Structure 1
Amino acid sequence: MLRLIPQSSCSFTDQGCICTNVDLNLKISECVEVGCTVKESLTTKNASESACGAPVRDRTKAVSVTGIVGGALALLAVSLRLLARRPGAGGGEFGLDDWTIIGTMLLVIPLSGLSLVLANHGLGKDIWTVPFEDIMHVLYIYYFDESLYLASLALTKISILFFYLRIFPERNFRRVVYGVMACCVGYIVAFVLISVFQCRPIPFSWKRWDGEHKGTCNNINAQSWAASAINIFLDLFVIFLPMPQLAKLALSFRRKIQIMLMFGVGFFITIVSILRLKSLIEFGNTQNLTWDYVPLGYWSTVEIHVGIICSCMPALRALVRSWRPTMF
């Protein structure tokens, strides 16, 4: 800065000029990037932003509220689903689809709760305003969240597939369902292992950000895109899989509308998955991870929570019908 300011139209005492001179700030940023460590660069950026009176951005509440509210709604849906399985409640017998969604919920509870921890450690703030230790904590939690997210997605689909087995007896259809289940299990095994061993040594996954540690990592951006693309394909396959079976059923117009609404929720999940792809672009290129990871985080939690609620809708319908027979 001592060398660059005299070369500009600003003086050392003119803070306003220094803050608003685009060319000067670009040259200062380039100089800091080349000659400073990551931590020194962040410290300089924070001092510069503070001196210039830049607004402090904060969307930590979006992180915590999305996780906690979504998790609470998903837990409520699962609880009502289990209530529908009681004798006389009209929701049918307790089955493998219920056990699977319970297992999914056991993964989603910590995933939802950790959103509050992430917000407390600075997810939702610009990285230069976050203490260095908290940056590492955010990446450390994200590392474990990835595996919970990947497993929860596939388990939700497996629960829906078990529900298909509950209601559709045709042999060929059931064989296809088992095949899709195998693909979902393969998805869990493959991508959870890839996620766990994304860097070598493993702690480099959450320590690499500062440039002070040595290690190697997979192409994490490509890894995330592959997982998302395959997940969207499986979503669509699971949604369309029972369509031929449903077409064979003699249903009233009202019942068809109800089924269309349930599948509409399924399409919404796919739309959320596609919207999440946009956030992966920032995920792969960001230098401001505690700010740019936020859309990826809340789209991921919305995707999981809505998926669980969708899987519970048939049982919830039966429960509501037992209370209000004329409603459905």
Structure 2
Amino acid sequence: MDYRPNVYASIFITLPIAALVLVLRLLARRTTTAGYGIDDWLAVVAYTGALGYSIVGLIFAADYGLGRPLKDGPANLTEDERLERSYLLLWLGSLTYTIGLAGAKFAILTFYWRLFKYSNSRIPIQIVMVLCGCWFVARMLLLTLQCIPTQAYWDVARRDLDCHVKTATYFYSTVLTHAILDIVILVLPLLEVFKMHLPLGQKIAVMALFGFGAVVCVLTILVIRLSFLFDGKSREVALEMGVHIALAAAECNLTNISVSLPMLRPVFRKIIPGSFLASHGSKRAAIDEAIAPSYGLKNSRGTKISQQNGSSSICEFVMNDDVPAGYDIEASRAGWSYGTEITISSPWRDQTPPPTVNEGLDGIQIQEETTVHVEHLG
């Protein structure tokens, strides 16, 4: 029996995709006026953890018998030495796995915090952030203190005496809470997007960008199932952990993909121009969504009164990649005493027209005039 092909396939397929998505995310963010944010750096931390977990899995599979019976392990080691190497690599894998998943959770939550600036979702986001912090601290404490001293975890002679938390209990308790948090994080943005007044195709596309995390939730459930079946007293640790590590590596790498995928809409718009991802047709609606609830906008053609529904910040996410190159849009900035301000400025705002542009004309010439009246309605 040999589960190494499962481990290799899981890592060599998902890890490069996660790296590509992260690079595209950073490139897409670099093109915006906002630049990089804390969510981008947390995404880098998350990928670092996923990379570390994949490296541990590859070393375990290539050199120390992961996915194979204990008797088929490295010939230069005794069975006790093989078992010690297995437990040491499991401990390192748990450490990098925790860093990768925690970084991903905080990256997506800080992105939500920036995106839903005036939404009712901000309180749930704060609560989930605190819960994720508690999960991270609890998992790290269990990892380092389940055996005292910590090195007793991989010391076969001391393991039964100095380890007081069963490995299966550790996996089950921390992975189950991790799965619940993932489901909550998955649902948070979908509710906000569902409330937006967007064309159906565009709404589905945006929800799909956020909803990729559902695949991760499925993998997490499979990892929980394997945690139930794990026998912490068995000496066949390397064999039993073969499929477990293959699924966990895929979960960790796909989590990184789901974290960065919502940031790639500008990339998709360039690859698939004119698709249902475009928001030209609904741009006026998106802007109207962002205007304060108590204001109306009047121009020479009529009056538009919009209602604030908490989507003012996400409108920037929906429309910012459709603005002509050189323009700056600042959406959802609390510049007024009520609601939201949108500022659109021309790339030629700092340039002086050539003196010959109005030769032969006297006085002040106005080529185009737009009047916008802002009034308080109640």
Give the 5 Å matches for 1:1-328. 57-87=1-31, 93-120=35-62, 121-130=64-73, 131=77, 132=79, 133-170=81-118, 172-208=120-156, 214-284=161-231, 286-327=234-275, 328=277
Other structure's SS at 1:124 match:
coil
CA deviation string 1:246-283 (max 9, x = no partner): 23211111112213323442111111111111211232
1:47 is matched with which residue? Answer: none
Question: RCO higher in 1 or 2 (8 Å CA, sep ≥ 6)?
Answer: 1
- Aligned-partner residue type, residue 196 of structure 1: T
- Aligned-partner residue type, residue 178 of structure 1: Q
- Once residues 112 and 93 of structure 1 are traced to their aligned partners in structure 2, the CA distance between those partners, rounded to angstroms, is 30
RMSD: 2.2
CA spacing shift, 1:212–1:152, aligned 2, 3 Å: closer
CA spacing shift, 1:63–1:202, aligned 2, 3 Å: same
1:33 is matched with which residue? Answer: none
Shift in Å at residue 211 of structure 1? 7.5
Greater helix share, 1 or 2? 1
CA spacing shift, 1:136–1:261, aligned 2, 3 Å: same
- Aligned-partner residue type, residue 175 of structure 2: S
| TM-score (structure 1 length as normaliser) | 0.76
- Once residues 106 and 185 of structure 1 are traced to their aligned partners in structure 2, the CA distance between those partners, rounded to angstroms, is 19
CA spacing shift, 1:66–1:156, aligned 2, 3 Å: same
Bigger Rg, structure 1 or 2: 2
Size of the aligned set, in residue pairs, is 269
- Aligned-partner residue type, residue 64 of structure 1: Y
| TM-score (structure 2 length as normaliser) | 0.66
Other structure's SS at 1:203 match:
helix
Gaps of 5+ in 2: 278-378
CA spacing shift, 1:67–1:323, aligned 2, 3 Å: closer
Gaps of 5+ in 1: 1-56
Q: Higher mean Cα deviation, 58-67 or 190-199? A: 58-67
CA spacing shift, 1:86–1:323, aligned 2, 3 Å: farther
2:302 is matched with which residue? Answer: none
